[in-house]
Amino acid sequence: MPFCYFCGLERLNNNKITSYIMYRTRTCGDLRLADEGLIVKLAGWVQKTRKMGGMTFVDIRDRYGMAQLVFDQENDAALCESANKLGREYVIQVKGEIRERSNKNKKLSTGDVEILVTELVVLNKSETPPFTIEDDTDGGDDIRMKYRYLDLRRTSVRKNLELRHKMTLEIRHYLDQQNFIEIETPVLIKSTPEGARDFVVPSRMNPGQFYALPQSPQTFKQLLMVSGFDRYFQIVKCFRDEDLRADRQPEFTQIDCEMSFVDQEDILTLFEGMAKHLFKSIRKVELLDEFPRMTWQDAMKYYGSDKPDIRFDMKFVELMDLLKGKGFKVFDEAAYIGGICVKEAASYTRKQLDKLTDFVKRPQIGAKGLVYARIKEDGSVKSSVDKFYDQDTLQGMKEAFNAEAGDLILILSGDNAMKTRHQLNELRLEMADQLGLRDKNKFACLWVVDFPLFEWNEDENRYQAMHHPFTSPKQEDMALLDTDPGAVRANAYDMIINGVEVGGGSIRIHDSELQNKMFKLLGFTEERAQEQFGFLMNAFKYGAPPHGGLAYGLDRWVSLFAGLDSIRDCIAFPKNNAGRDVMIDAPSPIDDIQLDELNLKVDLKKETL
């Protein structure tokens, strides 16, 4: 007889439970009023116990939900006594009859019913957990991370992992339908200092030599294109030794994709399709319109960010022509003056505006000050720099913003245009937060395209690849490679949702000569380029097809769909901000025998705490 884990046997045996092999016939989340009268077996964790008169109520929880158990002293005093002794998180098995509850709990999917228990087995005891296993837990971040296996019992955290699972299924389904093939690439690879810092792994068999963990499978996926696998993907762990933030972990998961015989348009279309598929299948949102596209240049000009959040407007307006040279020293000396218009915020008080000034002056943001102007009911403009500007100029400013009565204009200036735009971006986001304009259930998708090929690295006094060294320049900018590399645009694109970069990629260079030139522009000597990427350049000599691709950050996608503030909450066992797993206490020293085997000696240069 086929054995069905949850309810098959129950059905097949006409409700008589052949119990010796079965811990449970149903789950704690699927009991309904229609099940009234059924004898069921459940297994799970004790969430809570309450004694009320002669009755004891126990909430039992498993992965699927929670159910109420009832022990009636009048039915079985000894059993009720055992129930009274149950502690939180004990693992129990019960048998009993489903009956309708007199006191229904509308908040619970099983809230119409309860189980009148006739048998109770304690499968395992539990120490009192260090925090309550409830959505509204009393446990702080640190303790929950230390006992992450308990934290994962909480419905809210579990749901994030379920969402993650569903998303990866949908992604695989979509890509499979589009003829992609999932291929694993190695985890122990070669260190290449370009990009972020590598995590390295010593090799025992090759003393003094190290593998690196991949920052992405970039070169391998390109090699797979040379091999003829024209549509590759992989849901893959990647590793970057960077300082951590809410949206960064040292190990994270990419949906890594590559295609041959495609141009940028093909890639944008296919992956916009994937995004739409995810929105539809997971969030039940049908996105019919094409995603807007914005050049990197415009993104910086109007939003001071390469990942603008366009759920709300507040575009930057540049005010150099209008406000410079009128005797206000701060503006007169500025390389950039620009502002945003915040609709219906003229009611901001002096105190609130002072707080905003403090906000922009914080060292992380670094602005020198904030100028503001309120548009009054009669249309006149009242600014914090009135003594330098006449009403005509201020009216000109109002028009530049298309501002109306009741609006508030906020202006920043600085001697470095790019830095000031970044500061204005922070202010724009802060205002949107304060005004509740960043609704987590509203989604605004965007492609940012035409990134510069290079960015200048001031510390090293050289160009570095903005995306990576394999990204191709735009055909029409090719001549600039020799004359003005900083002005060359790349065939590179990022997908942005709600100001989060969920993915990015490029059309690659597939010509070994151009790739060589690129390395040269990046300051590689021929030997170094050969040593680090010789394998790729060699491969390109054997018929490399035109190709390109992209990688999505799975953790960011999931946290966006789950409405989380940090990607940590959609990762089963994340690291903390210091890159530590506090549960397993890693990283940690290794013992002398291991070091010996690796032929290594630890001699820390700096004293560590």
Q: How big is the site for ligand ASP, counted in residues (CB under 6 A)?
A: 8
Query: What is the closest distance, in whole angstroms, from the C-beta atom of residue 299 to ligand ASP in the complex?
Result: 18
Which of these segments, 30-38, 202-210, 366-374, 545-553, binds ligand ASP (CB under 6 A)? 545-553
Tell me how many helices (H) and strands (E) the chain has: 18, 22
Which of these segments, 148-156, 355-363, 367-375, 502-510, binds ligand ASP (CB under 6 A)? 502-510
Exactly one of 218, 420, 425, 559 binds ligand ASP (CB under 6 A); that residue is 218
**Quick one: 155 or 192, whose CB is closer to ligand ASP?**
192
Cβ 369 vs Cβ 361: under 8 Å: yes
Cβ 95 vs Cβ 119: under 8 Å: yes
Which of these segments, 39-47, 49-57, 420-428, 548-556, binds ligand ASP (CB under 6 A)? 548-556
Nearest of 6, 574, 579, 561 to residue 285 by alpha carbon: 561
Residue 506 interacting with ligand ASP (CB under 6 A): yes
**Quick one: 499 or 504, whose CB is closer to ligand ASP?**
504
Query: What is the closest distance, in whole angstroms, from the C-beta atom of residue 215 to ligand ASP in the complex?
Result: 7
Per-residue binder mask for ligand ASP (CB under 6 A), 165-204, x = binder: ----------------------------------------
Exactly one of 550, 564, 570, 571 binds ligand ASP (CB under 6 A); that residue is 550
**Quick one: 93 or 253, whose CB is closer to ligand ASP?**
253
Query: What is the closest distance, in whole angstroms, from the C-beta atom of residue 195 to ligand ASP in the complex?
Result: 8
**Quick one: 44 or 214, whose CB is closer to ligand ASP?**
214
Residue 216 interacting with ligand ASP (CB under 6 A): yes
- Which residue's Cβ has the minimum distance to ligand ASP? 216
Residue 549 interacting with ligand ASP (CB under 6 A): yes
Query: What is the closest distance, in whole angstroms, from the C-beta atom of residue 257 to ligand ASP in the complex?
Result: 7
Which of these segments, 54-62, 340-348, 451-459, 499-507, binds ligand ASP (CB under 6 A)? 499-507
Query: What is the closest distance, in whole angstroms, from the C-beta atom of residue 182 to ligand ASP in the complex?
Result: 15
Rounded CA gap, 503 and 509, in Å?
20
Question: For residue 268, what are the contacts with CB-CB under 8 A and spacing of at least 6?
Answer: 293, 447, 493
Query: What is the closest distance, in whole angstroms, from the C-beta atom of residue 550 to ligand ASP in the complex?
Result: 5
Residue 551 interacting with ligand ASP (CB under 6 A): yes
Read off the tokens for 427.
Answer: 């202010």
Question: For residue 373, what are the contacts with CB-CB under 8 A and spacing of at least 6?
Answer: 381, 382, 383, 384, 394, 397, 398, 408, 409, 411
Residue 224 interacting with ligand ASP (CB under 6 A): no
Rounded CA gap, 346 and 344, in Å?
6
Cβ 336 vs Cβ 420: under 8 Å: yes
Tell me the residue type at 232. Answer: Y
* H or E element, residue 260: strand 251-260
Tell me the residue type at 252. Answer: F
**Quick one: 367 or 551, whose CB is closer to ligand ASP?**
551
**Quick one: 224 or 367, whose CB is closer to ligand ASP?**
224
Rounded CA gap, 493 and 183, in Å?
24
Cβ 175 vs Cβ 257: under 8 Å: yes
Residue 213 interacting with ligand ASP (CB under 6 A): no
**Quick one: 147 or 552, whose CB is closer to ligand ASP?**
552
Residue 505 interacting with ligand ASP (CB under 6 A): yes
Read off the tokens for 182.
Answer: 């999932």
Where helices occur in 446-585 by DSSP H, the ranges are 480-483, 512-521, 526-539, 554-562
Query: What is the closest distance, in whole angstroms, from the C-beta atom of residue 492 to ligand ASP in the complex?
Result: 8
Rounded CA gap, 367 and 412, in Å?
7
Question: For residue 180, what are the contacts with CB-CB under 8 A and spacing of at least 6?
Answer: 231, 232, 233, 257
Dihedral sign for Cα atoms in the order 36, 37, 43, 48: positive
**Quick one: 86 or 490, whose CB is closer to ligand ASP?**
490
**Quick one: 146 or 508, whose CB is closer to ligand ASP?**
508
Question: For residue 298, what are the contacts with CB-CB under 8 A and spacing of at least 6?
Answer: none
**Quick one: 162 or 266, whose CB is closer to ligand ASP?**
266
Q: Which residues pair with 260 in a beta bridge?
A: 547
Query: What is the closest distance, in whole angstroms, from the C-beta atom of residue 220 to ligand ASP in the complex?
Result: 10
- ω into 587 cis (within 30 of 0): yes
**Quick one: 317 or 551, whose CB is closer to ligand ASP?**
551
Instruction: Beginning with the edge strand found earlier in the chain, give each strand of the sheet holding 408-414 in spatial order.
Output: 317-318, 336-342, 408-414, 371-375, 381-383
Residue 504 interacting with ligand ASP (CB under 6 A): yes
Which residues contribute to the site for ligand ASP (CB under 6 A)?
216, 218, 504-506, 549-551
